[in-house]
Amino acid sequence: MTRRAEAQKNKRNDVIKGGLSFPLLLITVTLILIGVVMVFSSTYVSTVLSGYEGYKNAVQHTIIAVICILFICVFNKYFDYRWLNNKKIVYAAVVITAVLLILVFFFDARNEAHRWIEIGGFTIQPSEIAKFVAVIYMAFYASHNRYWYSNVKTWICYFVPSLFFAVLIVLEPNLSTTLICILAPAIIMAFISGMHLGWAAAGGIAAAGFGIYMIFFTNWRAGRLQAWLDPWIDPSESSYQIVQSLYALGNGGLFGVGLGNSKQKISYLPMKDTDYIFAIIAEEFGFVGALIVIILYMAFIFFAIKVALKAPDAFGCFLATGITVIVALQAIVNIAVVTNTIPSTGVTLPFISRGTSSLLCFSGGAMLLLNISRYSRRRKTPEQEHDDNDNNSRGDEQSYEHEPKRKQDRYRTRTKGTSKTRRSEDSKNKRTVKAVK
């Protein structure tokens, strides 16, 4: 055995299979349950006032949430993320996603946007699926092409699916998802998988330039920018959402007005159960409640990064990194929009906002992270190595004791004969040395 092979064998022996990341599981389930409570709180009154059944949206979201929790808890045990590290599966997922993104243009528009596919009462938003499919493809390609950034051909193969998804999503139109959930993760994953920092920075600048161009040369996007710079310039029209969100934040104070007592959710704040649900959390639970939610997201990101660092292979590392980037960017952007830190944009709060496609896709991403953590590997401690050595020695003794007596006698005879042979050879060598002297 060569030194390199022996070193690799020793390295494999020094690591053991890690266990499920229970903190990550607990945080994910907690965020989903917070979403169940807040969706009910934010929709019940307004739904009743609109003449519909008050529990309709809450029941639907609760059913999906329960399915997602069971999906996360059960499938992370029986699913193997390495099944996705397959060329046929990855390419099929890319093709199916592209077809779904094209099909949205054949369905009726909502709020002047083609983003949903309605089939038999169910609504699918393909852009939510595209986020994670793009990450899976990039993780697959980078893990199978170590130096993909070394020539133009592999560059094209790496970025083409993400760019194609980005073009289709921009045409819906949905600029925020394109920049935040498609292009930004693609650039970050490219840098992590080996691309030079200068090229990654150039890609970021190009994406930012594209976003600025789309903002300034589209009237309604430019109006959002003006509303962000001065929310009180038109509080009844272009900056209406921002102003109502700030009112909700102000009403909450330190400890909030109490669960179900929000005033802004009653026909004031639009999209209170999706894009602006964090404002309702801050109003009903105050600064303390909003801070707890932020800490939960920070903890999720921390443990997800640990999963990526301890992944057993390159595919798992890149996949965990991409999922973490999507959750982190989307949570940061949503909270920044609600607090008017950045211009208003349509991005949901992961795991909490109402939306079947969003919740299912983020739950699937969390399940993959947990599955990677189950297959992660960590170094053995000196105590564990000592215990392993003791177990091995005991195992040898036990195996010898349990062998048939005939085999034991044969072993004793073989070792006895070997020792006699060695003693006779040593004596012959000694006599030869004396004769020479």
DSSP-assigned letters across all residues of 178-231? IIIIIIHHHHHHHHHTT--HHHHHHHHHHHHHHHHHHHHTSHHHHHHHHHHH-G
The single-letter code of the amino acid at 199 is: W
- Cβ–Cβ under 8 Å, residues 81 and 319: yes
Q: Token pair of 20, please?
A: 């499920």
- Per-residue pLDDT, 3: 55
pLDDT, tens digit, for every residue of 266-314?
Answer: 878 888 888 899 999 999 999 999 999 999 999 999 999 999 999 989 9
Which letter does DSSP use for residue 113 in this model? B
Please count the other Cβ atoms lying within 10 Å of the Cβ belonging to residue 101: 23
What string of DSSP letters covers 125-176? Answer: -HHHHHHHHHHHHHHHHHHH-TTGGGSHHHHHHHHHHHHHHHHHHHTTT-HH
Residue where the block lists tokens 């940061």: 332
What are the pLDDT digits (tens) for 10-46? Answer: 444 444 455 778 899 999 999 999 999 999 888 877 6
Question: Where residue 74 falls among pLDDT bands split at 50, 70, 90?
Answer: confident
Residue 17, C-beta contacts closer than 8 angstroms, at least 6 positions apart:
375, 376, 377
Residue-range domain boundaries for the chain: 18-378
* Average confidence score pLDDT of the chain: 81
**What is the mean pLDDT of the segment spanning 231-252?**
83
Residue 328's pLDDT band, with cuts at 50, 70 and 90, is very high
pLDDT-derived band at 240 (thresholds 50, 70, 90) equals confident
Model confidence, pTM:
0.81
